[in-house]
Amino acid sequence: MKAEIIAIGSELVRGQTIDTNSAWLSRRLLEAGVPVAYHTAIGDDRKAIKEAAKLAASRVHLVIVTGGLGPTKDDLTREALAELCRRPLVENKAARRDIETIIKRRHGQVLPSHLRQALIPRSARHLKNPVGSAAGFRLRWGRATIVVLPGVPREMRGMFEEGVLPWIKKSATSRAAILTKTIRTVGVPESGVDQRIGHLMGRSNPDVGTGARDGMVDVRITARGKSASETRRLIGKTEAEIKRLLGDAIYATGEDTLEGACARLLLEKKKTLAVAESATGGLISTRLISCPGISKSFLEGIVAYSNAAKVRHLGVSRNLIRRYGAVSAEVAGAMAAGARKSSGADIGLATTGIAGPTGGTKSKPLGLFFIAISSKDGTEVNEYHFRGNREQIRSRAAITALNLLWLRLK
């Protein structure tokens, strides 16, 4: 069984909203043994929705449609699919009761527009919305099953988990087992990863692929087998080979993040951290404080953007700044040592650089960064040259700083 996901919404095709639903559904379907062959995005246009659903139903057995089930006039998914399947829309009593309960709970008046959400094609299976008002449905058309879910991510996910996934598992008992594992790397460009493991990418089972993002590269292994144990064996053999070839570049497997890996090591080793940021402007601290439990290890984060702030909060010498400049190895080292000393932390981490688009010179070009880490064992400072726009450079600098922290901790 293969699937296609159709995301409905003019805001998606205009680039105003990022389609996170399709990515989430693809992962969950693959975990259930149903690979996704196509992603399609369609605006709020009845004819386009019909044509997309018709094409999808001709080439896959499972079509999942998200969006266009709300109460407004531009929510056209139910009407488009009813026309395609030549079935009238009828009110589902259970869906109406749910809508009335939700609206009354919000102390609102039930309007005809609200009740539009209770309409589904005749003979379609109603899918209860556990957290919202828009009813979903499942219907058979030709050789395909079409599943229709709301576009609101929280509602879509709840309905998929409760009303769609159990049906998939029950109806596809003969499918092969499919497993995907992700190995996360940092500090090595995609070309470098390819140079080390490129010979593995020509294999068909398991499939090995890479995806790069801001200085990090994810390596994904996908295997198919007659049973879960066979699939795990195929994954394990290739995973061991990749780990041998990539070595210290690997910071985690699965869904763990770089900041999550750093937080875990800080907590395990009972180390404390203080961060001093200039051009990264709090990005490192923001990433770290997103990790549960980090308050036990993360003492403080200081954005010392101006020279005066570096002197006042971190104890950096004015003469040092005057002699070497704010963007220098000497100042970066002093910032890291100052953050550690002022906070009493075990480790101080600091960044200073030129993110652009202005400020670069011949001797200190745009993208130049110095990143320092300080502990009782001494202070290490590294020089980097990042490319991209201002936000890309800042993001890559923050990730590189976290990598430096991770390498120090591991």
Look at residue 234 in the predicted model and tell me its pLDDT: 92
Same domain, 129 and 264: no
Q: Say how far apart CA 406 and CA 410 lie, in whole Å.
A: 6
**What is residue 140's three-state secondary structure?**
strand
CA neighbor of 319 nearest in space, from 334, 304, 305:
334
Picking from 82-86, 98-102, 226-230, 363-367, which range would have the lowest pLDDT averaged per residue? Answer: 226-230
| Tokens 């936000």 belong to residue | 391
Residues 132, 117 contacting (CB under 8 angstroms): no
Look at residue 347 and tell me whether its pLDDT is greater than 60: yes
pLDDT of residue 176: 66
Q: Is the pLDDT of residue 85 over 90?
A: yes
Strand partners, 219: 183, 210
Whether residues 204 and 56 share a domain: the answer is no
Listed residues 171, 194, 226: the one ending a domain: 171
307 and 249 together in one domain: no
Q: Is the peptide bond before 357 cis (omega within 30 degrees of 0)?
A: yes
Q: What angle do CA 256, 259, 263 make, to 5 degrees?
A: 95
- Mean pLDDT estimate for the chain: 94
Q: Which pLDDT belongs to residue 31?
A: 82
pLDDT of 132 above 60:
yes
- Choose among 126, 147, 128: nearest CA to 34: 147
43, HSE (Cβ side, Cα atoms, 13 Å): 7
H or E element in which residue 369 lies: strand 368-375
* pLDDT interval class at 324 (50, 70, 90): very high
End-to-end CA distance of the chain: 43
Residues 322 and 405 in one domain: yes
- pLDDT value for 374: 98
Residue 191 has pLDDT above 70, yes or no: yes
Q: Same domain, yes or no, for 22 and 160?
A: yes
Question: 3-state DSSP call for residue 290?
Answer: coil
Q: E-assigned strands of 26-77?
A: 36-42, 62-66
Q: Where are the beta strands (DSSP E) in 192-239?
A: 207-213, 216-225
> Could you tell me the CATH number of the domain that includes residue 125?
3.40.980.10
Rounded mean pLDDT of 228-248?
A: 93
Q: Can you give the CATH number for the domain in which 360 is found?
A: 3.90.950.20
Kindly state whether residues 109 and 196 are assigned to the same domain: no
* Angle separating helix axes 390-409 and 258-268, nearest 10 degrees: 30
User: Where does the pLDDT of residue 172 fall: very low under 50, low under 70, confident under 90, or very high at 90 and above?
Assistant: low
Predicted pLDDT at 202: 82
**Residue 23: domain span:** 3-171
Say whether pLDDT at 174 is over 60: no
Domain end call among 138, 171, 204: 171
Structural domain ending residue among the three candidates 253, 288, 319: 253
Q: How many CA atoms lie within 13 A of 209 on its CB side?
A: 7
Per-residue model confidence as pLDDT tens digits over 47-70: 999 999 999 999 999 999 999 999
- Among residues 237, 185, 239, 254, the alpha carbon closest in space to that of 213 is found at 185
pLDDT per position as a tens digit, 311-320: 999 999 999 9
Q: Is 341 exposed, middle or buried (0-12, 13-18, 19+ CB in 10 A)?
A: middle
Burial class of residue 322, CB neighbours in 10 A (0-12, 13-18, 19+) = exposed
Query: Is the pLDDT higher at 249 or at 225?
Result: 249
The DSSP call for residue 208 is E
Residues paired with residue 6 on neighbouring β-strands, in sequence order: 40, 65
Q: How far is CA 181 from CA 212, 219, 238, in A?
A: 16, 8, 10
398 falls in which pLDDT band (50, 70, 90)?
very high
Domain check: are 209 and 148 in the same one? Answer: no
Tally of structural domains, the chain: 3
Q: Residue 228's Cα: distance from chain center in Å? A: 26
Say yes or no: 71 and 192 in one domain. Answer: no
Question: Residue 44's pLDDT is what?
Answer: 96
Q: Is 173's pLDDT higher than 60?
A: no
Do 92 and 202 belong to one domain?
Answer: no
Q: What is the pLDDT of residue 178?
A: 81
**What mean pLDDT is predicted for residues 247-254?**
92
Spatial distance between the Cα atoms of 190 and 380, rounded to a whole number of angstroms: 26
- State residue 175's pLDDT score: 59
pLDDT at 330 over 80: yes
Residues 29 and 159 in one domain: yes
Q: The tokens of 116 are what?
A: 């539009």
Measured CA to CA, the distance from residue 137 to residue 94 in angstroms comes to 12
Measured over all CA atoms, what is the biggest interatomic distance in the chain, rounded to whole angstroms?
80
Calculated CA dihedral for residues 248, 250, 251, 254, nearest 10 degrees: -160
What token pair was written down for 148? 């229709």
On whether the pTM is more than 0.75, the answer is no
**113 in the same domain as 203:** no
Residue with tokens 């009335």: 100
What is the Cα 341 distance to its own chain's centre? 36
* Residue 177: pLDDT over 80: no
Domain check: are 57 and 108 in the same one?
Answer: yes
Phi, psi of 120 (to 5 degrees): -140, 155
CATH number of the domain residue 199 falls in: 3.30.70.2860
